Amino acid sequence: MLVLEAKLNGKTEQYALIDEAIRTALFVRNSALRYWMDNKGVDKYDLSAQCAVLAKEFDFAKRLNSTARQASAERSWSSISRFYDNCKKKVSSKKGFPKFKKRGNSVEYKQSGWKLSEDRKYLNLTDGFKIGRLKLVGSRDLNFYQIEQIKRVKLVRRADGYYAQFCVVVDRREAIAPSLRATGLDVGLNHFYTDAQGEVVENPRYLRKSERKLKKLQRQVSKCKKGSANRKKAIKRLARKHLQVSRQRKDFAVKTARCVVRSNDLIAYEDLQVRNMVKNHKLAKSISDASWSMFRDWVEYFGKVYGKVTVAVPPHYTSQNCSSCGTLVKKTLSTRTHACKCGCVLDRDHNAALNILAIGLSRVGHTQTQYACGEFDLCQLDASLVGKLSR
């Protein structure tokens, strides 16, 4: 179990609604406790059933999501059972008889009453309090997990603002034999990537087809008069296509990332700044950047799953330097081949991928190894690094 936290950004009215939800959760907790005190032999399930009774009785309790009501009752049960345990253990001093709480600072939802946006940047609270959409600040880590893995969401009030805690179940750890291979990946506009072994992974044909269609639909939208019915229809078509393409792209990213991680012990890639990417207006470029950053997220995710090393390296001079001798060999964007005085002749992207791998290796604390152009063999490396890689 892992707890990821993000700060919530919203409007003052939304914060007031969170406060109301927190107050209600506290009310449910205290009412459950009261019920236990007043009735002998009440157990966990009776308390849970009591939540529904409260919802019928009080309108404000009804507004709180049913799983949040249950979570509050569970909280009250946990303080009751702690008391029972202390009694059984015959603790000599205080047994900790459960108390009513005057102030609460959190409300917990289980798997309903909330929704994360596709990009995991917004949390939408959908229960009767209608808190609505809140921006998540610092939620990057959320991208590594599937929605199903998030078992609970807790809204917490702190002195400096409101936070959301995501309780993530992470049991995906798969053992896999070391592949004795390391690689660097160079992103391209023409190819999806080129690796340090010189292998090229192309963009799948169905994606290229979808992207062409996307361009066409985009043109149709801009051709229609603003505010016209036809434009609305065109926008709808474009939006649907966007969704389809983004699903296809994700599918491809997941499969490719899984494959790369499984067949290498170390994966180095360029640390491209997403902010710079968004600024780029060229469609082809922005599409390639978007798929790349999604792919990278999945490589990092699978790196954790399979216990492999993933390194992001600064993207400087990776295409200009010679991967064999380190000399700067200037080339324009149209120069597709790297040819150095030292005799190293390589495809431009292959050379870059080798450079990326070299920087990646130096970043994991190893700088001595020199290797020739072409095949890269992990056997050349120190035993110490191999240990690190297969961890």
> Measured from the CB atom, is 53 or 342 closer to Zn ion?
342
The answer to the question of residue 354 lying near Zn ion (CB under 5 A) is: no
The answer to the question of residue 324 lying near Zn ion (CB under 5 A) is: yes
The answer to the question of residue 328 lying near Zn ion (CB under 5 A) is: no
> Measured from the CB atom, is 105 or 362 closer to Zn ion?
362
How far apart, in whole angstroms, are the C-alpha atoms of residue 352 and residue 324? 11
The Cβ of residue 281 has, within 10 Å, a number of other Cβ atoms equal to: 7
- What is the Cβ-side half-sphere exposure of residue 212, based on CA atoms within 13 angstroms? 7
> Measured from the CB atom, is 16 or 372 closer to Zn ion?
372
The three state secondary structure string of 185-233 is: EEECCCCCEEECCCCEECCCHHHHHHHHHHHHHHHHHHHCCCCCHHHHH
**Contact stretch for Zn ion (CB under 5 A) within 95-103, 213-221, 232-240, 332-340:** 332-340
Collect all residues with Cβ–Cβ distance below 8 Å to 212 and sequence separation of at least 6.
Answer: none
Applying CB under 5 A, the site for Zn ion has a residue count of: 7
Site mask for Zn ion (CB under 5 A), range 155-174, x = bound: --------------------
The answer to the question of residue 342 lying near Zn ion (CB under 5 A) is: yes
- What is the Cβ-side half-sphere exposure of residue 55, based on CA atoms within 13 angstroms? 18
Structural tokens at position 259: 């494959």
Minimum distance of Zn ion from residue 200's CB (angstroms): 22
How distant, in Å, are the alpha carbons of 37, 39, 95, 295, 311 from that of 42?
9, 6, 19, 52, 55
How far apart, in whole angstroms, are the C-alpha atoms of residue 262 and residue 268? 14
Which ranges of the chain does DSSP label H, i.e. alpha helix? 12-38, 44-57, 59-63, 66-88, 205-223, 229-262, 274-279, 283-306, 348-363, 383-389
The answer to the question of residue 344 lying near Zn ion (CB under 5 A) is: yes
The answer to the question of residue 346 lying near Zn ion (CB under 5 A) is: no
The answer to the question of residue 196 lying near Zn ion (CB under 5 A) is: no
The answer to the question of residue 239 lying near Zn ion (CB under 5 A) is: no
Site mask for Zn ion (CB under 5 A), range 16-45, x = bound: ------------------------------
The answer to the question of residue 339 lying near Zn ion (CB under 5 A) is: no
Minimum distance of Zn ion from residue 196's CB (angstroms): 16
> Measured from the CB atom, is 131 or 329 closer to Zn ion?
329
> Measured from the CB atom, is 20 or 347 closer to Zn ion?
347
> Measured from the CB atom, is 284 or 342 closer to Zn ion?
342
The answer to the question of residue 340 lying near Zn ion (CB under 5 A) is: yes
Binding residue for Zn ion, selected from 55, 153, 287, 322, defined by CB under 5 A? 322
Amino acid at 168: V
Minimum distance of Zn ion from residue 344's CB (angstroms): 4
How far apart, in whole angstroms, are the C-alpha atoms of residue 45 and residue 63? 22
The answer to the question of residue 352 lying near Zn ion (CB under 5 A) is: no
Question: What distance, in Å, lies between the first and last C-alpha atoms of the chain?
Answer: 21
**Contact stretch for Zn ion (CB under 5 A) within 28-36, 147-155, 161-169, 344-352:** 344-352
**Contact stretch for Zn ion (CB under 5 A) within 117-125, 137-145, 326-334, 380-388:** 326-334
Residue with tokens 């993000």: 6
151: DSSP letter: E
> Measured from the CB atom, is 196 or 340 closer to Zn ion?
340
**Contact stretch for Zn ion (CB under 5 A) within 180-188, 206-214, 313-321, 327-335:** 327-335
> Measured from the CB atom, is 61 or 340 closer to Zn ion?
340
How far apart, in whole angstroms, are the C-alpha atoms of residue 69 and residue 129? 13
Binding residue for Zn ion, selected from 325, 339, 364, 386, defined by CB under 5 A? 325
**Contact stretch for Zn ion (CB under 5 A) within 1-9, 221-229, 318-326, 374-382:** 318-326
How far apart, in whole angstroms, are the C-alpha atoms of residue 342 and residue 235? 55
From the centroid of its chain, how far is CA 388? Answer: 25
User: Residues 283 to 312: which contact Zn ion by CB under 5 A?
Assistant: none
How far apart, in whole angstroms, are the C-alpha atoms of residue 280 and residue 130? 37
Minimum distance of Zn ion from residue 120's CB (angstroms): 43
Residues that bind Zn ion (CB under 5 A): 322, 324-325, 327, 340, 342, 344
